Chain A
Amino acid sequence: MSPGQWGRSATLRARPQSAIAPLLIASPALVFLAVFFAWPLIEIARVSFTPSEISRGATPLTVLRDPAHLRALGFSAGQAALSTALTLLAGIPIALAFARYRFAGQRLWRALAVAPFVMPTVVVAAAFSALLGPRGALNSALQTAFGLEQPPIQLMGTLPMILLAHVFYNVAVVLRLVGGFLAAFDPSMEEAAAGLGANRWQTFRHVTLPVAMPSVGAAAALTFLFTFTSFGVVLILGGARFATLEVEIYRQTAQLLRLDVATSLAIVQIVVTLLVGWASARLETRAGAPLAARPADDIRRPVNSPAARALVAGSLAFIILVLGLPLATLAWRSLDLSGSDPLRYYAALSENPRGSLFFVPPQTAIRNSLFFAGATATLAMLLGVPLSYAIAQGSRSAAGGAARLAQSLDALLLLPLGTSAATLGLGFLVAFDRPPLELRTSVALLPLAHTLIALPFVARALVPAIRALDPRLREAARGLGAGPLQALRYVDLPLLAPPFIAAAIFAFTVSLGEFGASLLIARPEYPTMPMVIYRFLGQPGALNYGQALAMSTLMMLVTLVSVIAIERVNEQALSARKA
């Protein structure tokens, strides 16, 4: 590893490229986004701004004159910035621990950290309330210990509760994106810095963080947009006094049927998303420097110093306390401790005593969920991998159409994440109502909609890593006679396995946890696990509640098993030495 790499990267970037080749590679994804994203939005905007009983002349400019909307915009952005900062603060050390050290049960811990990502908000809210609520475990313990009259912790319905829940949901984003990036890249510079007398903080601050910056920027952008458009967490854990733009859009759409106001607010959201996308794209390209890569397993070291022990122990403690405890509470409450059979609610999932038309055996729900998630992951990778290469390679050239195209694509790609689900759902309804795309009630709409959300994740996981991979490695392979696909197979894939796995896992879990029925028109023929959970939570009674929690616990297990399976299968398939 010669330090000259840094100097020479400038020459590698300076070659201007035309925009045609990247555009061609990116075209399937661009067509997909045009048909399933841009068109529905244009159609719903057309309907919303045509004067009628559902449109009374509001525009994106006039809606912001309403102080309530301005407050919602301010709150959305403010809490998202705070949530993102806290998530990065918690997530980066954990990502570092997982990328740099080898320890027992690593794969399981990392899979566990992704499990919150798929959990329905109502269920998570119940778990937090059971732990931190006025009659929750923590308050009860404190009251007994100190003989207090009133519960000392009053978190429910406060901003800190919203932030805590956002960290709970999004730590996985940082762990996977930053951790995946670091795991693919060489720690020899960190070692060199340490050899030159830098302490750990200096090494982190001046070497590790700058190197990882592209992935930090990507993780920050995704977390910001996820929390900026937060709906369930703010509604349920915020206790109704807080309102994000997304909540206001839902209210204007579902209850008031003021589409002009709703779509105007959705456009405001889109503008903010573009700004975030532009900022993160700049951060990613400015910081990106090509590094040579080594397979992740060569990089991880045993936990051999007190500092390393502290980092790993701290990371695991965080995962156990903040992520594991609420999930364990759910699993505990899914047991029936009043009767003779603690697994009663699990057994009841397979029974249909009322002969209900909408009864779904658990294996059917699991199968459907896995099928949709698999379809989403496949489609998102098929579209996202070429797109990511187009962006990464285009942006390497210092000038020319390719660089401009790459940067705007990179920014535009985040749009589906920052677009209101309620607005897009209605867009589908008005756009796909006639042949050849009579899709309004089609089952295919579910994985298509999930892919829209998964695509930004795939690109954000892949682009920084592809861009940072030293292009001379690929050029050397081509020089030895390898075709472009062979170079991808034998150079990129083995070296970039962690980001590729992160991308596939996100695409999969985004679909697994997404409750599409409020967004789309659901056909009950293919119910998924979240749909079953919400059906149980719609009626009172111990059996319904117990079954909802049993199904949630099953969903957690399915997530753990799938994530671990995806990692194993891909690691084996991508491993260079086994090829």
Chain B
Amino acid sequence: MKRLTLSLTMATLLTACALQAPPTRPVMQPQQAAPRTLTIMTHDSFSASEDVIAEFERTNNAKVVILKSGDAGSTLNKAILSKDAPLADVIYGVDNTFLGRALAADIVEPYNSPALADIPDRFKLDPQNRMLPVDYGHVIINYDKAYLQEKGLAPPTSLRELTEPQWKGKLVVQNPATSSPGLAFLLATIAAFPEGSAYDWKQFWRDLRANDVYVSPDWSDAYYAQFSGSSGKGPRPLVVSYATSPAAEVFFSEGKLEEPPTGNLEGTAFEQIEFVGILKGAKNRDLAEKWVDFMLSRRFQEDIPLQMFVYPVAQTAKWPEVFVKFGQPPAQAFSLTPEQIDQGRDQWIETWTQLVLK
């Protein structure tokens, strides 16, 4: 016990030193071989702490190169296009809305990482472990607390309520054809109002359109230019965003806010799970396996929340305080299987475009 306490103290001290020390490249021992390069292909939103990556590089005598390849869809498509001459060893950031396409394109190899033991089965959507879950989050509608209070409006309690007259012109969504949260929200509505039911998703979107829903091309424009609850002070009080956005508002206010200025609407969420996989033809398969293990280890998992504002999948990973207080996941979320999504996606987007934009 004493040794544990001691090592914990040491670890804390080391971490503190690492945080204060200016970022430096790890110094290689002269007798060591030159570090091997591990290349990771990912989307533009990927982020991690410098010292976490440095730790991996040090332990494995590796140099990590990150290739940012556009949004999640573009990244996957670039990986598919270059499958005969892979750009990287690992791809990270394919989510459950694109998982089916990634598996069908046959670009990733199975890896039964021992670290999977710490991850709940509900996240393991690929039984062959070609794609391993890393983190999850919820696309959900955020509302502007001050705006609603000023107008004497109670937050809507269901998706259906958004079609009522008091919410006319107040909701901003993203175009599912150009935006990943936009696609996730469309999927939420398809799960909520299934095809063939008396009131189906198509009718819901017709009603939303009649109620002047605003369609943004991407999350940044929706959140900053259109949503009234952000620093951009747009005109509309409801926006499709993430369940962690209210926590991020507190975190990035630098102590000015004690409470989030925005809240989440229960009953509007869709769960997104992000995956990592080893690319077929990876030059450093063994190093790639180490990286996958590392991403699923507590060290990386606990780094995820404040870097990417999503939840780690590992059960033992601790959450930062701001997540515990303001970033709790919604009580329930809509979901569809990767097979359903893969079969329906293109047609759903086409139909949505006809219904809402034409």
Do these two chains really belong together in a complex?
Answer: yes
Interface residues, chain A, with chain B CB atoms under 8 Å away: 47, 53-54, 68, 122, 125-126, 129-130, 133-135, 157, 235-236, 239-241, 243, 247, 250-251, 253-257, 338-339, 344, 354-359, 426, 429-430, 433-434, 440-441, 517-518, 521-524, 534-535, 537-546
B87 touches A126 (CB 8 A): no
What would be 23 A-B contacts, judged by CB atoms less than 8 Å apart?
A: A54-B80, A122-B218, A125-B221, A135-B228, A239-B215, A243-B357, A256-B349, A257-B101, A355-B19, A355-B23, A356-B47, A356-B307, A430-B81, A433-B82, A441-B87, A517-B68, A521-B67, A521-B69, A537-B224, A538-B219, A540-B248, A542-B231, A545-B231
Does B73 lie at the interface of the complex (its beta carbon under 8 Å from any beta carbon of A)? yes
Does B175 lie at the interface of the complex (its beta carbon under 8 Å from any beta carbon of A)? yes
Complex Cα distance A535/B68, Å?
A: 11
Complex Cα distance A257/B71, Å?
A: 13
A539 touches B49 (CB 8 A): no
From B128-136, B190-198, B232-240, B287-295, the one touching the partner chain is B232-240
In the complex, chain B residues whose CB is within 8 Å of the CB of A543: 252-254
B217 touches A240 (CB 8 A): yes
A545 touches B232 (CB 8 A): yes
In the complex, chain B residues whose CB is within 8 Å of the CB of A133: 225, 234-235
A122 touches B47 (CB 8 A): no
In the complex, chain A residues whose CB is within 8 Å of the CB of B49: 354-357
B44 touches A538 (CB 8 A): yes
Does B78 lie at the interface of the complex (its beta carbon under 8 Å from any beta carbon of A)? yes
Q: Within the complex, which residue of A135, A157, A433, A539 is in contact with B248, where a contact is CB–CB below 8 Å?
A: A539
Does B335 lie at the interface of the complex (its beta carbon under 8 Å from any beta carbon of A)? no
B249 touches A542 (CB 8 A): yes
Q: Which of B65, B234, B306, B349 has the most CB of A within 10 A?
A: B234
Interface string of B46-89 (1 = CB under 8 A from A): 01111111000000000001111111011001101110010100
In the complex, chain A residues whose CB is within 8 Å of the CB of B23: 355
Complex Cα distance A185/B254, Å?
A: 57
With A240-B215, A357-B53, A542-B253 as known contacts, state yes or no: A135 contacts B177, CB within 8 Å. Answer: no
Complex Cα distance A537/B104, Å?
A: 33
Using CB atoms, name the residue of chain A closest to B234. Answer: A129
B230 touches A545 (CB 8 A): yes
Q: Within the complex, which residue of A243, A441, A546 is in contact with B67, where a contact is CB–CB below 8 Å?
A: A441
Q: Apart from A357-B50, A541-B253, what are 7 other A-B pairs with CB-CB below 8 Å?
A: A68-B358, A240-B217, A253-B77, A256-B177, A538-B44, A545-B230, A546-B231
Q: In the assembled complex, how far is the CB of residue A164 from the closest CB belonging to chain B, in whole angstroms? A: 15
Does B245 lie at the interface of the complex (its beta carbon under 8 Å from any beta carbon of A)? yes
With A356-B49, A356-B307, A522-B68 as known contacts, state yes or no: A134 contacts B235, CB within 8 Å. Answer: yes
Q: Which of B52, B216, B220, B230 has the most CB of A within 10 A?
A: B220
Q: Which of B218, B231, B307 has the most CB of A within 10 A?
A: B231
What 6 A-B pairs come out closest when comparing CB atoms? Answer: A541-B252, A240-B215, A235-B217, A545-B231, A543-B252, A134-B235
Interface string of B154-187 (1 = CB under 8 A from A): 0000000000000000000001011000010000
Complex Cα distance A540/B87, Å?
A: 31
With A125-B225, A126-B225, A542-B231 as known contacts, state yes or no: A254 contacts B252, CB within 8 Å. Answer: no
B178 touches A135 (CB 8 A): no
Complex Cα distance A440/B215, Å?
A: 34
Q: In the assembled complex, how far is the CB of residue B272 from the closest CB belonging to chain A, in whole angstroms? A: 15
A354 touches B307 (CB 8 A): yes
B44 touches A517 (CB 8 A): yes
In the complex, chain A residues whose CB is within 8 Å of the CB of B92: none
Complex Cα distance A429/B251, Å?
A: 38
Does B214 lie at the interface of the complex (its beta carbon under 8 Å from any beta carbon of A)? yes
A135 touches B44 (CB 8 A): no
A429 touches B225 (CB 8 A): no
A433 touches B85 (CB 8 A): yes
Complex Cα distance A542/B68, Å?
A: 25
With A251-B177, A537-B224, A541-B251 as known contacts, state yes or no: A338 contacts B44, CB within 8 Å. Answer: no
Interface string of B271-284 (1 = CB under 8 A from A): 00000000000000
Q: In the assembled complex, how far is the CB of residue B232 from the closest CB belonging to chain A, in whole angstroms? A: 6
Using CB atoms, name the residue of chain B closest to A259. Answer: B81
B224 touches A538 (CB 8 A): no
A255 touches B177 (CB 8 A): yes
In the complex, chain A residues whose CB is within 8 Å of the CB of B48: 356-357
Does B309 lie at the interface of the complex (its beta carbon under 8 Å from any beta carbon of A)? yes
In the complex, chain B residues whose CB is within 8 Å of the CB of A126: 224-225, 232
Q: In the assembled complex, how far is the CB of residue B169 from the closest CB belonging to chain A, in whole angstroms? A: 9
Complex Cα distance A544/B73, Å?
A: 24
Q: Within the complex, which residue of A68, A240, A257, A434 is in contact with B175, where a contact is CB–CB below 8 Å?
A: A240
Using CB atoms, name the residue of chain A closest to B226. Answer: A129
In the complex, chain B residues whose CB is within 8 Å of the CB of A134: 235
Complex Cα distance A523/B251, Å?
A: 28
Using CB atoms, name the residue of chain A closest to B39. Answer: A441
In the complex, chain B residues whose CB is within 8 Å of the CB of A541: 231, 248-249, 251-253
Does B241 lie at the interface of the complex (its beta carbon under 8 Å from any beta carbon of A)? yes
In the complex, chain A residues whose CB is within 8 Å of the CB of B52: 357
In the complex, chain A residues whose CB is within 8 Å of the CB of B248: 539-541
Using CB atoms, name the residue of chain A closest to B85. Answer: A433
Does B2 lie at the interface of the complex (its beta carbon under 8 Å from any beta carbon of A)? no
Interface string of B121-132 (1 = CB under 8 A from A): 000000000000
In the complex, chain B residues whose CB is within 8 Å of the CB of A522: 44, 67-69
B178 touches A235 (CB 8 A): yes
B253 touches A535 (CB 8 A): no
Interface string of B30-49 (1 = CB under 8 A from A): 00000000000000110111
In the complex, chain B residues whose CB is within 8 Å of the CB of A243: 357
Does B256 lie at the interface of the complex (its beta carbon under 8 Å from any beta carbon of A)? yes
A135 touches B234 (CB 8 A): yes
Complex Cα distance A240/B306, Å?
A: 32
